[in-house]
Amino acid sequence: MKFYLILYLNTFIFSHSLSSQTISDKQKSELAEIVKQEFLHSWNAYKTYAWEHDELKPLSQSFRDWYSESLLITPVDALDAFYLMGLNEEADSIKEFIINNLSFDKDFFVKNFEITIRILGGLLSSYQISNDKRLLKLAEDLGNRLLPVFNSQTGMPYMFINLKSGEVKGEISNPAEIGTLLIEFGALSKLTGNPVYYDKAKKAITELFNRRSPIGLVGTTVNVETGEWIDSTSHISGRIDSYYEYLLKSALLFDDKDCKKMWDKSIEVVNRYLAHNTETGLWYCQTNMLTGERISTNFGALDAFFPAVLALSIDLTKAEQLQESCYKMWTTFGIEPEEIDYTTMEATSPVYHLRPEVIESAYYLYFFTKDERYVEMGKTFLESLIKYCKVDAGYTALENVVTKEKRDEMESFFLAETLKYLYLLFAPANTLDFSKVIFNTEAHPIKKIW
Ligand code: DMJ
């Protein structure tokens, strides 16, 4: 089956890649259908080997829970993808399962950021799609349990919270975990009519922005009690990435003028101090947040979200250039490493976690440019995924993109994001309009209905 799929894709790519001829809607639908089948292949493996648990372990055909009890992370994260793919019957039965079995009355600490983007975001988008008020009730219960996380002296959230007692811990946090809450908390406010969630998350992101350096950059880690920076390295990679994404997206989703101003100021200095034109293309580097001096030249799978953000801000020139670099990072190894040094194109971290960002960026660029090149990129991504990551029980991460050694892991974002964006890239009828819908950082589409 795997062999025939790759053969089909190879024939498809050969007959289309040498010319700029348009790929017909029929051909795109066929590709979308392949992605849908791969989505079901992964979901069925989860159902067989990991049902009721947080995540599938595809090699050992077992499961992993994040905490002492499951929070149904994979089903909640994946639910809206079923609806978007038109798999409504399965979606409705997963929805019922979630409503009957998910409880947040748990006496353990969870990571606020992950639970917000995967579970709160997932519940809210599925609520907007299905109109089932019970999902909103669950989201509201979760939102209320998470609120004490903002009770620091600065208003910036702690990293961890006990869902039952409201106790908090983890005062050393980072811009991504502090600034990637406003879409979910803000939408919860709009949908329940209670402003408290919006206000807390907005204060958090604003307090962070206010602590930018004199040249306008933020660092990697900060103490949420004192407001002092611990690690002053600035970049767009993991631990900062989605802070920038949420400044722009919150401005668009809520018409929030403050977020727009913060985004405008931020992108100007990000491009001034971090963008790096080299012989291997345009990249974004690491600098000292105080001086703007370059520290290192690493770029990775997480950074590949940035072409999408640039495209959404309508800087298509930079978005397209950077996407070409990201594509080179993928094709150099046949699949994407976690991180490279872009001056040598060598992998500094060779893992592939089944991450979605480069596919997400191809989807955004295709939406804004209609250039078939991004569909071609999508076919390459799909082919590599099938070739190197597909196993009997779902899809698996890679320990090493050079040797293609596998790693026993299928994170919930593989269904929630990676396959969703790939499907949307190929499915013209399902292309969402970014003036009406904003995806949270976990690919949960939030409709702008206010
Ligand atoms: C996801 O949980 C989200 O996209 C997050 O913003 C970054 N990491 C993963 C995917 O790589």
Can you tell me whether residue 352 is helix, strand or coil? Answer: strand
Question: Does any domain span residue 261?
Answer: yes
Name the percent of the chain lying above pLDDT 90. 92
pLDDT at residue number 21: 54
Ligand 1 pocket mutation, candidates 178, 351, 441, 444, criterion most atoms within 8 A of CB: 441
Question: Does any domain span residue 228?
Answer: yes
Write down the catalytic residue from 65, 90, 114, 132: 114
Q: What is the pLDDT of residues 369-392, one digit of tens each?
A: 999 999 999 999 999 999 999 999
Q: What is the pLDDT of residues 37-69, one digit of tens each?
A: 999 999 999 999 999 999 999 999 999 999 999
Q: Does 438 score more than 50 pLDDT?
A: yes
Q: Is 355 touching ligand 1 by the criterion CB < 6 Å?
A: yes
Tokens of 94: 């997963």
- 378 within 8 A of 422, measured Cβ to Cβ: yes
Q: Is 407 touching ligand 1 by the criterion CB < 6 Å?
A: no
Question: Does any domain span residue 118?
Answer: yes
Q: Are strands 394-395 and 390-391 parallel, antiparallel or unpaired?
A: antiparallel
- Is 241 marked active-site? yes
Backbone angles phi, psi at 130, to 5 degrees: -95, -20
First to last CA, the chain: 46
Q: Is 242 touching ligand 1 by the criterion CB < 6 Å?
A: yes
Question: 183 C-alpha to center of ligand 1: Å?
Answer: 15
pLDDT at residue number 208: 99
Write down the catalytic residue from 245, 357, 383, 411: 357
Structure confidence at residue 3 as a pLDDT band (50, 70, 90): low
Question: 356 C-alpha to center of ligand 1: Å?
Answer: 8
Q: What is the pLDDT of residues 361-370, one digit of tens each?
A: 999 999 999 9
pLDDT at residue number 431: 72
DSSP code per residue over 162-215:
ETTT--EE--EE-HHHHHS-HHHHHHHHHHHS-THHHHHHHHHHHHHHHT--TT
pLDDT at residue number 19: 40
Range of the domain at 206: 103-268
Question: 16 C-alpha to center of ligand 1: Å?
Answer: 32
Ligand 1 pocket mutation, candidates 76, 442, 444, criterion most atoms within 8 A of CB: 442
Ligand 1 pocket mutation, candidates 111, 113, 114, 117, criterion most atoms within 8 A of CB: 117
- 247 within 8 A of 205, measured Cβ to Cβ: yes
Q: What residues form DSSP beta bridges with 341?
A: 298, 346
pLDDT at residue number 14: 43
* Domain CATH code at residue 182: 1.50.10.10
Look at the block and give the residue holding tokens 């046949």.
Answer: 334
Q: Is 413 touching ligand 1 by the criterion CB < 6 Å?
A: yes
Question: Does any domain span residue 140?
Answer: yes
Q: Tell me which residue has its CA closest to atom 10 in ligand 1.
A: 355
Question: Does any domain span residue 213?
Answer: yes
Residue from 231, 244, 230 nearest 275 by CA: 244
- 248 within 8 A of 312, measured Cβ to Cβ: yes
Question: 178 C-alpha to center of ligand 1: Å?
Answer: 15
Q: Which residues contact 39 (CB under 8 A, 6 or more apart)?
A: 81, 85, 415, 419, 423
Question: 229 C-alpha to center of ligand 1: Å?
Answer: 23
Q: Does 15 score more than 50 pLDDT?
A: no
DSSP code per residue over 143-177:
HHHHGGGG-SSSSPPPSEEETTT--EE--EE-HHH
Q: What residues form DSSP beta bridges with 169?
A: 160
Q: Is 327 touching ligand 1 by the criterion CB < 6 Å?
A: no
Q: Is 441 touching ligand 1 by the criterion CB < 6 Å?
A: yes
Lowest mean per-residue pLDDT among 23-37, 46-60, 159-173: 23-37
Sheet of strand 221-223: strand arrangement: 172-173, 221-223, 229-231
Question: 396 C-alpha to center of ligand 1: Å?
Answer: 16
Q: What residues form DSSP beta bridges with 110?
A: 161
pLDDT at residue number 8: 59
DSSP code per residue over 88-141:
HHHHHHHHHHHHHH-----SSEEEHHHIIIIIIHHHHHHHHHH--HHHHHHHHH
Question: Does any domain span residue 153?
Answer: yes
Q: What is the dihedral of CA 168, 170, 175, 176, to 10 degrees?
A: -80
Report which ligand 1 atom has the smallest distance to the Cα of 443: 4
What average pLDDT is seen over the chain? Answer: 96
Question: Does any domain span residue 428?
Answer: no
- Is 357 marked active-site? yes
Write down the catalytic residue from 177, 241, 256, 417: 241
Question: 393 C-alpha to center of ligand 1: Å?
Answer: 23
Q: Total structural domains in the chain? A: 1
Q: Which amino acid is at 103?
A: S
Question: Does any domain span residue 241?
Answer: yes
Q: Which residues contact 398 (CB under 8 A, 6 or more apart)?
A: 335, 351, 352, 388, 389, 404, 405, 406, 407
pTM over 0.85? The answer is: yes
Q: What is the pLDDT of residues 70-124, one digit of tens each?
A: 999 999 999 999 999 999 999 999 999 999 999 999 999 999 999 999 999 999 9
Q: Is 444 touching ligand 1 by the criterion CB < 6 Å?
A: no
Q: Does 300 score more than 70 pLDDT?
A: yes
